[in-house]
Copies of this chain bind each other. A is one copy, B any other.
């Protein structure tokens, strides 16, 4: 069993806002993250897959192919977008890093080759805050 990790980058606007709550409660819970006119981040996406090394290639999976999947299924959908307004797989979800990591897991997992399993989606929102999701 070997683990292969690929880093990708995207940026997006978002706000933290629960539509069931008043403005005041949103401000109280989310502070400046609830700013009505949005704020944004450079996100660093770190995806780890696992499986057996292929004897003919020496690869678990070609990292360039993994990158292509992450670009098409995640970055092309999110990059330079508004997480609350523009991203189908985040619709009706709070745009937290936790929910975004889970959403990205669900975007990636159907598109991986059958010989590998998705192990971890790690997502940095800022250089000081990250979330990891292992699928359960």
Contacts and interface: CB of A to CB of B under 8 A. Distances in A.
Interface string A43-55: 0000010000100
B82 A5 contact: no
A4 B133 CA distance: 9
A94 B12 CA distance: 19
A57 B30 CA distance: 8
Contacts of A4: 97-98, 129-131
Interface string A95-109: 111110110000000
27 contacts: A1-B136, A3-B131, A3-B133, A4-B129, A5-B129, A6-B128, A7-B128, A9-B126, A11-B126, A13-B13, A13-B37, A16-B58, A18-B57, A29-B62, A33-B80, A35-B82, A37-B81, A38-B40, A42-B42, A42-B126, A42-B127, A53-B96, A53-B99, A57-B94, A58-B93, A58-B98, A60-B98
